[in-house]
Amino acid sequence: MSGCEFTEPRLRCVLPFEAVPADVRLLRKAVGQQLSRWGMPVATDDAELLVTELATNVLKHVGEGASATLVLEWRDERLRVEVHDKSRTIPALKSAQCGDECGRGLHLLATLAVEWGAVLTAAGKAVWCEIPLSVGRSCRRIERAAEALEIYQGGGGRQGRSREAGLDESAIELIADLLHWTAARGHDPDDILDLAQMHYEAEADAA
């Protein structure tokens, strides 16, 4: 599974997978790692659970081994989760009393997500849901930082595990570059760091 990319003006990750139990487990783990990498203020357990249920629904209702794709998008104050497959059968939410075979995953979507739905696509269908992020100014700051590091890492050519492992290093390099930039403009880097720390502490106390 691979395919993380940066798409203006939001973060986007595309993960192809096969509807088999082993891939579903790997997909769940990959979601947690991606949300951690973005520093996303979202309930990771809920996101992993919803992704697992959507992927399992592909296995149950489209067929074991079917090709599918998970798309994660961070937009504004929500995480959008989409699972695309090649079936054109739109799932329907049925009575909770009818049991697992009637769509346990859809009931979880209705419970945990702020919005959800299913649409036909050129290749089949997509089932999607949106999970709320923590609101407030800090959320937007985290989002901007993640966007900057996606671009910064892309320019450095890191890929796969080495790219993931270099996230902290890239953050340090980015801060160092900004300090060089402020010094070139005649400012004292220590003053800039002090001001940034003051802003961070004030917003953290207010959260």
60 and 13 part of one domain: yes
111 and 169 part of one domain: no
State the residue for tokens 């340090």: 172
**Domains of the chain: total:** 2
Q: Domain residues for 148?
A: 137-206
32 and 112 part of one domain: yes
C-alpha separations of 45 from 1, 36, 63, 83, 194 in Å: 20, 12, 26, 18, 36
Is the pLDDT confidence value at 78 over 70?
yes
102 and 11 part of one domain: yes
In DSSP notation, 53-110 reads: HHHHHHHHHT-TT-EEEEEEEEETTEEEEEEEES--PPP----GGG-GGGTHHHHHHH
160 and 196 part of one domain: yes
75 and 88 part of one domain: yes
Whole-model pTM? 0.63
Quote the pLDDT of residue 70. Answer: 97
15 and 98 part of one domain: yes
**CATH number, domain at 61?**
3.30.565.10
Quote the pLDDT of residue 193. Answer: 86
159 and 72 part of one domain: no
165 and 89 part of one domain: no
Is the pLDDT confidence value at 22 over 60?
yes
